[in-house]
Amino acid sequence: MSEASAPHAADRRELTAAQRNAVAELLRVSPVADELGRRFVRAGHELHLVGGSVRDALLGRLGDDLDFCTDAHPDETLRVLKGWAESIWETGREFGTIGAQRDGLRLEITTFRAESYDQVSRNPVVVYGTSLDEDLKRRDFTINAMAVSLPEHRFTDPHGGLDDISARMIRTPSTPGESFGDDPLRMLRAARFAAQLRFAVHPDVHRAMSEMSADLDRITAERIRDEFTKLLCGADPITGLRLLVDTGLAERFLPELTGLKLEIDEHAQHKDVYEHTLTVVENAVSYEEEGCDFILRMAALMHDVGKPATKAAAPDGRVSFHHHEVVGARLTKARMKAMRYPKEVIAKVTALVALHLRFYGYGRGEWTDSAVRRYVADAGDLLPRLHKLTRSDCTTRNRRKAAQLAADYDALEDRIARIAAEEDLARVRPDLDGNAIMELLGVPPGPVVGRAWKHLKEQRLEHGPLDRDAAEVELLRWARAEGLVE
Mark which of 110, 144, 167 sits at the end of a domain. 167
Q: Tell me whether residue 125 is in a domain.
A: yes
Omega within 30 of 0 (cis) for the link into 151: yes
Q: Which residues contact 399 (CB under 8 A, 6 or more apart)?
A: none
Phi, psi angle pair for 109, to nearest 5°: -115, 120
pLDDT at 3: 35
Mean pLDDT is lowest, of 163-177, 178-192, 310-324, 399-413, for 310-324
Residues 97 and 46 in one domain: yes
Residues 421 and 438 in one domain: no
Q: Are 306 and 325 in contact (CB under 8 A)?
A: yes
pLDDT digits (tens, 9 = 90+) for 116-144: 655 555 555 678 888 999 999 989 999 99
* Half-sphere exposure (Cβ direction) of 391: Cα atoms closer than 13 Å: 22
Long-range contact list for 120-126, CB < 8 A, 24+ apart?
120/218, 121/218, 121/219, 121/220, 122/183, 122/184, 122/185, 122/215, 122/218, 122/219, 123/220, 124/95, 124/183, 126/94, 126/95, 126/96
pLDDT digits (tens, 9 = 90+) for 373-398: 878 888 889 999 999 999 999 888 77
Hey, what's the torsion of the CAs at 373, 376, 379, 385, to 10 degrees? 160
| Domain ranges, residue 305 | 254-425
Residues 359 and 441 in one domain: no
**β-pairing, 116-117 with 124-125?**
antiparallel
Residues 270 and 413 in one domain: yes
Cα separation, 451 vs 456, whole angstroms: 9
Q: Can you give the length of the chain in residues?
A: 486
Q: Are 300 and 284 in contact (CB under 8 A)?
A: yes
pLDDT digits (tens, 9 = 90+) for 316-360: 767 778 789 899 999 999 999 999 999 999 999 999 999 998 887
Is the pLDDT reported for residue 60 higher than 80? yes
Reference 253, options 207, 295, 222, 280; nearest CA is 222
This prediction has a pTM of: 0.80
pLDDT digits (tens, 9 = 90+) for 61-118: 898 999 999 999 999 999 999 999 999 999 999 889 999 999 999 999 999 987 565 5
Residues 132 and 17 in one domain: yes
How buried is residue 109: exposed, middle or buried, by Cβ count under 10 Å (0-12/13-18/19+)?
Answer: buried
Sorting pLDDT into bands at 50, 70 and 90, what band is 202? very high
Q: Tell me whether residue 50 is in a domain.
A: yes
Domain CATH code at residue 362: 1.10.3210
Residues 75 and 113 in one domain: yes
Residues 105 and 145 in one domain: yes
Mean pLDDT, the chain, whole residue set: 85
Cα separation, 33 vs 39, whole angstroms: 10
Q: Which of 437-474 are b and which e, b meaning 16 or more Cβ less than 10 Å from the residue's Cβ?
A: bbebbebeeeebbeebbebbeebbbeebebeeeebbeb
pLDDT at 5: 41
Between residues 373 and 288, which one has the greater pLDDT? 288
Residues 328 and 381 in one domain: yes
Cα separation, 309 vs 324, whole angstroms: 8
Q: Are 394 and 405 in contact (CB under 8 A)?
A: yes
Provide the number of structural domains found in the chain: 3
Mark which of 138, 167, 196 sits at the end of a domain. 167
pLDDT at 407: 83
Between residues 126 and 16, which one has the greater pLDDT? 126
Cα separation, 390 vs 411, whole angstroms: 14
Is the pLDDT reported for residue 469 higher than 90? no
Q: Which residues contact 455 (CB under 8 A, 6 or more apart)?
A: 475, 478
Mark which of 167, 196, 212 sits at the end of a domain. 167
Is the pLDDT reported for residue 195 higher than 80? yes
Q: Which residues contact 229 (CB under 8 A, 6 or more apart)?
A: 294
Between residues 145 and 400, which one has the greater pLDDT? 145
Q: Are 71 and 45 in contact (CB under 8 A)?
A: yes
Cα separation, 154 vs 63, whole angstroms: 21
Between residues 156 and 413, which one has the greater pLDDT? 156
Q: Are 219 and 184 in contact (CB under 8 A)?
A: yes
